[in-house]
A and B are shown apart, each in its own frame.
Chain A
Amino acid sequence: MNTHRVAGAGGLLLGLAYLYFTAQIPAEGVTDAVGARSYPYIIGSILIVAAGALLFSRGDASTATEESSDAGKGEGLLQRFGLAAAVLLVTAIYIALLEPLGFVLSTTLYTLGLMSYFHRGHWFANVASSAGFSVISYIALVKLLGASLPAGLLAF
């Protein structure tokens, strides 16, 4: 993967989108010489220039070696990003269920799920760690420090 090209392309797209949305900012009732749009226009333009320079720069020395050593592009991407994507998907589900289920239940299930994969074969330690962490941190944060965490199905 040529990191320069990917970063450059991403930066370019982001810069163009940023400039587009900058143009949507209303220019009414301007109270200073600059207004709300001038500064974003400047930094959006700098981003496009930097991203463009990155896109057309020489890139990493390891690029050719990396690309030729991949068995197939799809397989390489899955191997490279599959684990992170799976963890992110599980995390997204956790966040979506955080308020409906409540902090204790959702966090216990989330951490237990991850530990079951990354620390497999140690059921007792995983259950104790996940449930213990959820309950202790809920009590410490809500009851002792007055923080706000969702109670959900286990309101107590």
Chain B
Amino acid sequence: MDSFAQLFSGFSAVLQGHNLFYLFLGCLAGTLVGVLPGIGPAAGIGLLLPITFGMDPTSALIMLAGMYYGAMYGGSTTAILINTPGEASSVMTALDGYQMARQGRAGTALAIAAISSFVAGTIGVLLLSLLATPLSEFALRFGPPEYFALMIFALSTVNSLTGGASLKGMLAIVLGLMVATVGADLQTGQPRFTFGFGGLQEGVDFVIVVIGLFAIGEVLVSLEGMVKGQTQIMSIKGRRWLSGRELRESLPPMLRGGLLGFFLGVLPGVGATVSSIAAYIAEKKLSKTPQEFGQGSIRGVAGPEAANNACTAGAMVPLLSLGIAGNSSTAVLMGAFIMFGIQPGPLLFQQRPEVVWGLINSMYLGNLMLLVLNLPLVGLFARLLRTPQGILMPLILAVSAVGAYSLNGSVFDVWIAFGFGILGYLFRKLEIPVAPLVLSLVLGRQLEQSFRQSMTMSGFEFSILVGSPVSATLLAMAAVSILTPVVVRLFRRTRRTILA
């Protein structure tokens, strides 16, 4: 009941004129980021961060969160109109959405994508409102060993979901932890890995890393792969709404996708892409006419779109309640919280309830705003697809430099972003996942602090890390998630050898 009281009181913050304006800006920017290829929500949030300096933290976080879930709406536009998902999470939408467009039903496909996103997004935010407070109250009992175990578990699940690249994922995680050690040691004040550069004394700013890895790195790869020749963009024919029959047909997938997406989103490492794939597979299995999937089935659009939007709300649960980011976008959001001097986690609900509930309530209104934006303005967004990549990509590089410079007015930061841009490009070439590095960078300092506090409490006895049921369980789960892919691979190899 306390959650509901705070929920309603939080609306008073969101409904202020300036916060509504920032919410609109964030949703619009997010939709644009989702529509335009070459830049994702993590990079978009990173590029928007420098201009939020000096803003009220609640307003800034409302705008940044708006970009996060706005990008999910925008990604479906390109998936449907040019068979190229604007975001990885819209890859399943392209399967049936593009077929619907080819059948002259692009307007219907875009409408169902927007409505599914709205319904599921609202379901997700409602569940977030109900679950966040109890989870944060449970987490208040956590001490340094439990936090250490929780972060190890979060990093392990992210790694296990890199599929066959778990060793490369481990490499990325450890690199992120290494970058997090750069700067003055918090306990002793000793400079570590600064090499005499004053600009590294405070450590490497994670915004710089995000700009380099996601914006510069992605653009370099996009420039290499720029498609020569024309891309056919489907025109938006037909009505931009649904018939009664179509709405009835898509309602169950919306609800199922919303619930599935939300609960998958709560798990660290499960992004919107995995959620939308799971929802598509589930709908296909439940359908009495599975052969229609891939041929323009409305359920093939409704389910995945619902899942990828509900997932964004689910991902906010561990972020706000536990201070754990489960994907790259929430990792950047977490960095934004820290930048404003706000530590996400269980104490957040007690110390800064106006920030938390303002943010959660903004998501209700943000979903409504996005529905209003996307349906009438989809034609305008579709026109943006005609922006030549040869103009767009250089501008994104320039925006990256601006963003990095304007953080501290220092060209040293631009060089750091440039260096991480090279790293991001090499990661993509070597097929090393980038998201684990960002996650471990954001969690790195906390992980070290939890570890050192635990060792101080126990006099350097490692047994304290498995001393409580919570920490022992979390570390056991981490071990299972790390070892399972290894065991499965060994089993398959042995079976192949025996059968050969």
Contact = CB atoms under 8 A, between A and B. Distances in A.
A156 interface: no
Interface in B332-382: none
Contact of A149 (B54, B223, B406, B430): B406
Given A110-B398, A125-B391, 12 more contacts: A3-B168, A7-B430, A25-B190, A34-B452, A43-B174, A44-B178, A47-B171, A84-B224, A99-B411, A103-B402, A111-B397, A148-B406
A51 B432 CA distance: 12
A133 B395 contact: yes
A40 B181 contact: yes
B414 interface: yes
Q: Is the interface of B mostly helix, strand, loop or mixed?
A: helix
A71 interface: no
A36 B185 CA distance: 6
Contacts of A119: 388, 390-391
A84 to B, nearest CB: 5
A16 interface: no
A57 B393 contact: no
A105 interface: no
Contacts of B220: 84, 87-88
Interface of A: 1, 3-4, 6-7, 11, 14, 18, 21-22, 25-26, 29-36, 38-40, 43-44, 46-47, 50-51, 53-54, 57, 60, 81, 83-84, 87-88, 91-92, 94-95, 98-99, 103, 107, 110-111, 114-115, 117-120, 122, 125-126, 129-130, 133-134, 137, 141, 145-150
B451 interface: yes
Q: Is the interface of A mostly helix, strand, loop or mixed?
A: helix
B415 interface: yes
A98 B187 contact: no
A76 to B, nearest CB: 13
Contacts of A125: 388, 391
B438 interface: no
B188 A31 contact: yes
B411 A98 contact: yes
A11 B171 contact: yes
B147 interface: no
Of the listed residues B398, B402, B422, B456, the one surrounded by the most CB atoms of chain A closer than 10 A to its CB is B398
Contacts, number: 167
Contacts of B50: 147
A50 B224 contact: no
7 interchain residue pairs of minimum CB distance: A119-B390, A118-B390, A148-B409, A114-B394, A36-B185, A147-B406, A47-B174
Contacts of B432: 3, 7
Nearest to B404: A95
11 contacts: A32-B455, A34-B452, A36-B192, A43-B178, A88-B220, A88-B422, A95-B411, A118-B394, A126-B391, A133-B395, A137-B402
B193 interface: yes
Nearest to B176: A43
Nearest to A125: B391
Contacts of B190: 25-26, 36
Contact of A50 (B171, B181, B185, B409): B171
B398 A133 contact: yes
